[in-house]
Amino acid sequence: MFCDDVWKRSARLIRAIHEHPFNTALSAGTLDRERFAFYIVQDARYLEAFSRALALASARATDTEDAVFFAESAHAALAAERTLHAGYIEEFGLTADDLAGIGTSPTCLGYSSFLQATALADPYPVLAAAVLPCFWVYQDVGTTLLENTAGVEDHPYRAWIATYSDPAFAESTERAKNITDRLAATTDDATREAMARAFFRATEYEWMFWDSAWHRETWPTAEWLA
């Protein structure tokens, strides 16, 4: 199956995601608030692009049930997960000025642009493969973090962990995988290769997204434009 193959081929990258300092500190509950605040601001901005890509996937789907799934997922990306972000923003006491002062990182813009370009220019099966890592990688990380923190009371990032380890999110992930597998099985070799490349690139961006939050990535020429 397509998904089994690309996941196996991504094993080193997936392991690097789990072992990244951002996620190990998140698991330990020691991740500093400045890094997490940077992350949730970038994630909120990324989710706007992700939602648009899902909406376009819904519009391009030839199967009615697939169209419904992508439309519902587009809504969830803006609604449920934004509620999670808003909760942490309020908890951290961040103001509108604080949020405005955090610029959109190069990685956030790159990942967002990649998804939107794929949604507009590539075949529908390639788009399905490109959006899959945002489901699958997060579900995999969330489930692992839940297992690692099961005995920890009052974990500071429990709400985040609960969101991505939730059985309903696991069901959505399986649905996205099933759609991608079906599309891969019914298309030509060139499109399947393009699907794999899109999956790998999006998975690379997932690692880069956490890395950018760990370093609180900025534009290297920003100081030249003041």
**Residues in CB range of 191: below 8 A, 6 or more apart:** 123, 125, 126
- Quick one: average pLDDT of 86-103? 75
Residue 92 has pLDDT above 90, yes or no: no
Contact 36, 89 (CB under 8 A): no
Residue 91 has pLDDT above 70, yes or no: yes
In a domain, 138, yes or no: yes
Residue 98 has pLDDT above 80, yes or no: no
**pLDDT number for residue 22:** 98
- Quick one: average pLDDT of 45-66? 96
Helix, strand, or coil (residue 1): coil
In a domain, 54, yes or no: yes
Own/partner long-range contacts of 214-222 (Cβ < 8 Å, ≥24 apart): 214/20, 214/21, 214/22, 214/35, 216/34, 216/35, 216/38, 217/105, 217/106, 217/107, 218/103, 218/105, 219/103, 219/106, 222/103
Distance CA 149, CA 147 (A): 6
Length of the chain: 226
**Who has greater pLDDT, 32 or 98?**
32
17-to-21, 182, 207 alpha-carbon distances in Å: 9, 27, 5
**pLDDT number for residue 95:** 72
Contact 185, 5 (CB under 8 A): no
In a domain, 118, yes or no: yes
- Residue closest to 128 by CA, chosen among 73, 210, 87: 73
**pLDDT number for residue 168:** 94
Residue type, 171: E
Residue 69 has pLDDT above 70, yes or no: yes
Query: Which tens digit of pLDDT belongs to each residue from 2-31?
Result: 999 999 999 999 999 999 999 999 999 999
**pLDDT number for residue 81:** 65
- The alpha carbon of 24 is separated from its chain's Cα centroid by a whole number of angstroms, namely 17
Exposed (0-12), middle (13-18) or buried (19+): which is 172, by Cβ within 10 Å? middle
Q: Rounded to 5 degrees, what angle do the CA atoms 179, 183, 187 make?
A: 175
Instruction: Report the number of distinct structural domains present in the chain.
Output: 1
- Sorting pLDDT into bands at 50, 70 and 90, what band is 119? very high
In a domain, 5, yes or no: no
Residue 226 has pLDDT above 70, yes or no: no
The rounded percent of the chain whose pLDDT value lies above 70 is: 97
In a domain, 18, yes or no: no
In a domain, 101, yes or no: yes
Cα separation of the two ends of the chain:
51
Distance CA 184, CA 18 (A): 27
In a domain, 24, yes or no: no
Phi, psi of 31 (to 5 degrees): -65, 125
- Quick one: average pLDDT of 77-101? 75
- Quick one: average pLDDT of 107-126? 98
In a domain, 10, yes or no: no
Q: Find the domain containing 138 and state its range.
A: 34-218
CATH code of residue 123: 1.20.910.10
Query: Which tens digit of pLDDT belongs to each residue from 178-213?
Result: 999 999 999 999 999 999 999 999 999 999 999 999
Q: Rounded to 5 degrees, what angle do the CA atoms 70, 72, 75 make?
A: 110
Give kind and range of the element (H or E) at residue 138. helix 124-148
**pLDDT number for residue 85:** 74
Whole-prediction pTM value? 0.94
